[in-house]
Amino acid sequence: MKNVHPIYNIKSLMIKRELENDPNLKEENWARFLPTFKKKNVKRKKRKIVKKERALLPPPQQPRKIDLQMESGEYFVAKKKQRTK
């Protein structure tokens, strides 16, 4: 595949037009005057991965909704209301 940017084609056409007008160079090979563009393979810099500090132990388990209700006493009040219905 020849993926070439159009500006490079335009540059070579401009040079060819100038060479056509020159009588000395009409019969010669123009390859030495035309630019040759090589594809550059430029690598991007890799981002450094910043490692987060990890705790040795996992965080303490969060209390469940029922546990919170038991501590405040709402759980037992709700049970009594359900029985009365």
* pLDDT band, residue 47 (cuts 50/70/90): very high
* pLDDT band, residue 1 (cuts 50/70/90): very low
Q: Which residue has the higher pLDDT, 85 or 44?
A: 44
DSSP characters for 8-60? HHHHHHHHHHHHHH-SSSTTS--TTTS---PPP-PPPPPPPP-PPP--SSPPP
pLDDT in tens, 50-77: 998 888 898 899 999 999 998 988 888 8
Threshold 0.95, pTM exceeds: no
Q: What is the pLDDT of residue 2?
A: 67
pLDDT in tens, 12-27: 999 999 999 988 888 8
